[in-house]
Copies of this chain bind each other. A is one copy, B any other.
Amino acid sequence: MIFRQLFEKDSSTYTYLLGCEETGESVLIDPVIETVERDLEVIKSLNLKLTYTLETHIHADHLTGAKKMRTLSGSKIVVPEMDQLACADLFVKEGEIFQVGTINIHPLFTPGHTSTHHAYLVNTNSHTLLFSGDALLIEACGRTDFQSGDAHALYKSVIEKFFTLPNETLVYPAHDYEGRQITTIGQEKLRNPRLGNGKTEEEFVEIMENMNLPYPRKIDFAVPGNTRCGECPENVPQEYRGACEIQDAPASENIPKKQGDQG
């Protein structure tokens, strides 16, 4: 399996590329609209074809690149079935393996950050990879104060669906705000200050209820835009509008020539 961890810096989002060497098919988990051209160039350079985009949830902090990817590359939009998005092409749900070439992706229903959030498990020949979305971050977790968030549900999701995985499981989160890229189930069970080291549900809920986080900067246009799979909504502020437009120039001319986006 070809694997890349890609970073979008404005929202500190990690997008994950999983490519099947046998068939040339690939999937991008949680693409971001600002980095669609960069991601397509990476895929092309690896001699892969983008077959699917796959969302962990309806994001509030960025617009998904799903629709723009579909327009530019013909990829199919895949989302959790319970999101009931009319704009999607295919749906996933827990208990049904989603295949990309020979790669088997196991959806895990993990509500709490949002009520329909899903994580994805992939087994390689040596490790289990958990794409944890916003349910579990490195020494943190997604907020639970918007979008039907529920700290009780998130506690249950992490403890029952994640912390029962082997300690060596590699955890690839949807975000990190401090340049960290990876953790393991064992490390989070020990070190996560909200959920690890035997924290009770009551302790976790109290922590989450006292976060005092600012109102999400993009939520008012990101959530309606993402319920339409990343269509640029009318109320996108001018400074974010550029990323929504489909450019006429060939994708290869639109790649930002930045170093360090992956780390």
- Given A4-B168, A263-B187: A182 in contact with B182 (beta carbons within 8 A): yes
**CB-defined interface of A178-203 with B at 8 Å, one 1/0 digit per residue?**
11111110110111000000000000
Whether A127 pairs with B186 at a CB distance below 8 angstroms is no
Asked if A262 is at the interface of the complex by the 8 Å CB criterion, the answer is yes
Decide yes or no whether A212 CB sits under 8 A from chain B. no
Asked whether B5 lies within 8 Å of A186 as measured between CB atoms, the reply is yes
How far is A125 from B22 in the complex, measured between Cα atoms in Å?
Answer: 12
* Interface residue A215 (Cβ < 8 Å from any Cβ of B): no
A250 proximal to B (CB < 8 A): no
| A126-B184 in contact given A170-B170, A260-B190, A262-B167 (Cβ < 8 Å) | no
Take A3-B126, A126-B124, A127-B124 as given contacts and tell me if A263 and B179 are in contact as well, using a CB distance cutoff of 8 Å.
no
Contact of A187 among B126, B170, B181 (CB under 8 A): B181
Report how far A180 CA is from B182 CA in the complex, Å.
Answer: 11
User: Contact at A191–B186, with CB atoms within 8 Å?
Assistant: no
Q: Does A1 interact with chain B (Cβ within 8 Å)?
A: yes
Known: A184-B181, A187-B179, A187-B182. A167 touches B124 (CB 8 A): no
B-facing residues in A117-132 (Cβ within 8 Å) = 124-127, 129
